[in-house]
Amino acid sequence: MATHPTQYAHPEALVETDWLEKHLKDEGIRIVESNEDVLLYDTGHIPGAVHIDWRADLQDPVIRDYISPEKFAELCSRNGITRDTTCIFYGDKANWWACYALWAFRLFGHDKVKILNGGRDKWKSEGRPMTRDVPKYPKTSYPAPKKRFDNEIRAFFDEALAQSKSGKPLVDVRSPGEYRGEITHMPEYPQEGVLRGGHIPGAKSMPWKTATNDDSTFKPASELAKIYFDQCGVGPEKDTVVYCRIGERSSHTWFVLTYLLGLNNVRNYDGSWTEWGNKVGAPIEKSA
């Protein structure tokens, strides 16, 4: 068995709360809040943070897809973000949606990205400053990305199917009940139109929050390695696909595998179960 890492592969991808409080006004950074609850930002946020709404800002309003490169450039420009800006993402639910926003930025080639370790919950629990003031930044001229990196960090249905048939690592990060097919949505959340429950054949169940501590920070590298290398069969020599319901929880796992464990062969299947569970002819397993 390969030796497990004892340190994060990219520790620079995480920012601690004490550091950020001391550097709120640094040039060259933009703090970005992205939450599941899109109204939460208005109740108070980190001073200087801009709000990116995962649905209104990152999703195409008609097509089940992300915005165009031109729309992404407009989003960055109106938030005062340049190609050289380091974006520090944070949010509720242990940074679940912050990781989704970070993954979307990476999809458009913006690679100067970090996560606030512990997110909004840790920041608030430590009594750090919050404000309702909405910052105004000079508009920039962010160039439209020449491409989206769909092939590099994103998987589509046919690729997830090929992954399943070949027996390569597939990680289902939903709740155990969703994985077993007992429910088709997260506990305490509304049903969102998936017709069938279960999981992609061959997928391993590893709920996304397994990677975090009680204070919403990420677990140490050695523990993460045991979780994903030993229990899920991922590794540097194996292409891996992660999925959930619409790709949001799995983006959190993608961040863990890519930045904290250093794998460069992980793709997020954002179509996830809302696509797979409704796809005519898609194979499904319900076993535990």
Q: Which of 76, 99, 232, 244 is catalytic?
A: 244
Length of the chain, in residues: 288
CB 272 within 8 A of CB 208: no
Catalytic residue list contains 76 = no
Token output for 214: 């009680």
DSSP letters along 217-249, please?
Answer: PBPPHHHHHIIIIIHH--BTTB-EEEE-SSSHH
Q: Which DSSP symbol is given to 3? A: P
Question: 38 vs 43, 124, 144, 229, CA distance in Å?
Answer: 10, 17, 26, 34
The angle subtended at Cα 19 by Cα 17 and Cα 24, nearest 5°, is 90
3-class secondary-structure state, position 212: strand
- Pick from 155, 167, 131: which is nearest to 268 by CA? 155
Enzyme catalytic residues: 244
